[in-house]
Amino acid sequence: MFRNLRFIYITTKNRSEAEKIARTLVEEKLAACANIIDNMSSVYRWEGNVVSDNECVLIAKTTYSNVLALTKRVKEIHSYEVPCVISLKISEQEGNPEYLNWLVNSVKPPLSPEEKLKNS
């Protein structure tokens, strides 16, 4: 069965923001779950300068059909002007099949063709 699963890698300014985004995504069924990794050191270029900061990593698990809505929602509630939201494919031939099934059943299902037309 092809489920088209994704990890969504998101960075946030702190744990509080990561928790707020994670809770929103799970409550709205845009993600099945989210993991927070606190106190990551980041070095990046912003507005012509090299900057160092501590950030949090948020890894959300979802399906491809939810990636656009999830990205839009993160951008609405994130404090950064240009938040990092990156989608990575999850190998469906490896890992715990029961977990992968749980992931699919914990998020919004894909829209039907009729629903897609209605929402466009």
Q: CA nearest 59: which of 96, 11, 23?
A: 11
Q: Say yes or no to pLDDT of 92 above 90.
A: no
pTM: 0.88
Q: What is the pLDDT of residues 68-83, one digit of tens each?
A: 999 999 999 999 999 9
The first and second tokens of residue 111, run together, are 């829209």
Q: CA nearest 78: which of 42, 34, 25?
A: 25
**pLDDT at residue 37, as a whole number:** 97
pLDDT band at 112 (very low <50, low <70, confident <90, very high): low
Q: Do residues 34 and 108 touch, judged by C-beta distance below 8 A?
A: no
pLDDT band at 27 (very low <50, low <70, confident <90, very high): very high
What domains, with CATH codes, occur in the chain?
5-119 (3.30.70.120)
